[in-house]
Copies of this chain bind each other. A is one copy, B any other.
Amino acid sequence: MNAPTVSERTVVFVSDGTGITAETLGHSVLAQFESIRFRQIRIPFIDSEVKAISARQKIDDIASYDGRKPIVFSTLVNTNINSVVKQANGVFMDLFLTFVEPLEAELGVKSTHRIGRSHTISNNDQYKNRIEAINYALTHDDGQTDKDLAGADVILVGVSRSGKTPTSLYLAMQYGVKAANYPLIPEDFERGRLPAALPPYKAKLFGLSISPERLCEIRNERRPGSVYASLENCKKEVKAAEMMMRREGVAWLSSTSKSIEEISTTILQQLDLGQAIY
């Protein structure tokens, strides 16, 4: 490891839990500085003063190695732990203090300062839902079973490799939303009908489409040179699938330039899912 040049900077994510919150916000904020390369260090699970001292030391070591202070995104809730870590030689972005104090004033109650509240199984029901939804997505992937479709929150349809599986898993993992998914295949287009199990659940259907060119690329990684992957076949399938979705009144979007996060957010919004009370 070389000491960073002018356009590099070390970023530290320090937390009493996983550090996922610090990292998520940190990435978003730092993406606004495109000319700088950030190298990231995670310091999770700092839940005691002994660990706080070692975190402080680690940050000091980085500062002296780099010859400049690292940017530190921290979500330390405990006042004592936080005050130890903050003695370190870093530029602190304190996510909790910054927002918790104004919120205490606004809400008229003191915050609990209880550590490890996020990304744990402390909210057991919500966590259980997410794990169940992951299992549901795996069991109901790719039209494997018609059982318990009544239990689905959403049923994704689309041609093979249009992004249904990763989207189903993301919906499950992040939101506890149960997503089944069914491929639309040449046999469906010939029959001119949705897969037989689906018509009773029309209100839950959501379609993914994709540009034939992108689909051809993706399929060629899997089965290079096959008819299945050919641009001609991709064009035919995509056209037939979009026609079918239009005819059946199934809402759909093109996944071509969208991330699974963007696709999932759109689905939640359109089907009015995941607007939880917590």
Contact = CB atoms under 8 A, between A and B. Distances in A.
Interface of A: 9, 17-21, 24-25, 27-42, 44-45, 71, 75, 77, 91, 93, 95-96, 98-100, 102-103, 106-107, 109, 111-114, 117-121, 127, 131, 134, 138, 165-166, 169-170, 173-174, 257-262, 264-266, 268-269, 274-278
A39 B277 contact: yes
B40 A275 contact: yes
28 contacts: A9-B107, A18-B264, A20-B174, A21-B24, A21-B25, A25-B99, A27-B278, A28-B75, A29-B100, A30-B103, A31-B117, A32-B103, A32-B117, A34-B112, A34-B114, A38-B277, A39-B275, A39-B276, A39-B277, A40-B276, A42-B268, A44-B265, A45-B265, A93-B99, A98-B98, A121-B257, A134-B169, A169-B169
Counting chain B CB atoms within 10 Å of each CB, which of A31, A75, A95 scores highest?
Answer: A31
A144 to B, nearest CB: 12
A47 to B, nearest CB: 12
Given A24-B25, A134-B166, A166-B173, A107 B33 contact: yes
B169 A261 contact: no
Contact of A36 (B107, B261, B268): B107
Contact of A106 (B24, B71, B173): B71
A27 B99 CA distance: 12
A25 to B, nearest CB: 5
A109 B40 CA distance: 19
Nearest to A117: B31
Counting chain B CB atoms within 10 Å of each CB, which of A45, A173, A264, A266 scores highest?
Answer: A173
A23 to B, nearest CB: 9
A91 B106 contact: yes
Contact of A173 (B35, B40, B170): B170
Nearest to A105: B91
